[in-house]
Amino acid sequence: MELTDADLVARVLVDDDQHAFGELVRRHQSTVRGLLRQLTRTDIALADDLAQETFIRAYKNIRSFRGEARFSTWLYRIAYNCFREDARRRKEVVGVDEEQWQAEHDPQTVDPGLRHDLMHALSLLPLHERTAIVLCCQNGLSHDEASRVLDIPLGTVKTNVLRGREKLKRTLAAWGPN
């Protein structure tokens, strides 16, 4: 019988069982690294560095995990905070304004050599919409869980998902079938 995340967390808390924490890392490394690759617009080296930092912070702060939410939701929150702190450090512009986004996704200006696929369209979204789409539509989090991960109101999450979806649909429609 496979141990649940809650069982593994309990072993880490009670027995300082690093073997159990290793199993948690193995289980969640793909989704955490995938999320961070989306946030960093496929900068794989940066995403993996942030993912490593995420799991190390999770281990150091595992006593603050109360079990009210899923362990994966708690991990996503740490990952998102790592990303934001890194972006602040790099003084990255964390949002693309609407005019710039419109210019980027205008089919007349898009480089025909670039792949016109869903993941590319996703990377063109502003950060707040891209994050909401990745968490809710790709990783299956509820709007409530996503609002806790991102520390923003529930209504804002819903708006970002709605707008993100509409933009993706318009972009894919403009590019036409592959």
Within residues 9-28, the interface with other proteins by CB under 8 A covers: 11, 15-22, 25-26
State which residue, 92 or 117, has the beta carbon closest to other proteins: 117
Phi, psi of 19 (to 5 degrees): -60, -40
What mask of x and - would describe binding to other proteins in positions 78 to 107, judged by CB under 8 A?
A: ------------------------------
Task: Please identify which residue in 9, 75, 79, 133 interacts with other proteins, judged by CB under 8 A.
Answer: 133
State which residue, 59 or 93, has the beta carbon closest to other proteins: 59
Is residue 115 involved in binding other proteins (CB under 8 A)? no
Give residues in contact with other proteins (CB under 8 A).
1, 11, 15-22, 25-26, 29-30, 33-34, 37, 48, 51-52, 55-56, 59-60, 117-119, 122, 133, 137-140, 165, 168-170, 172-173
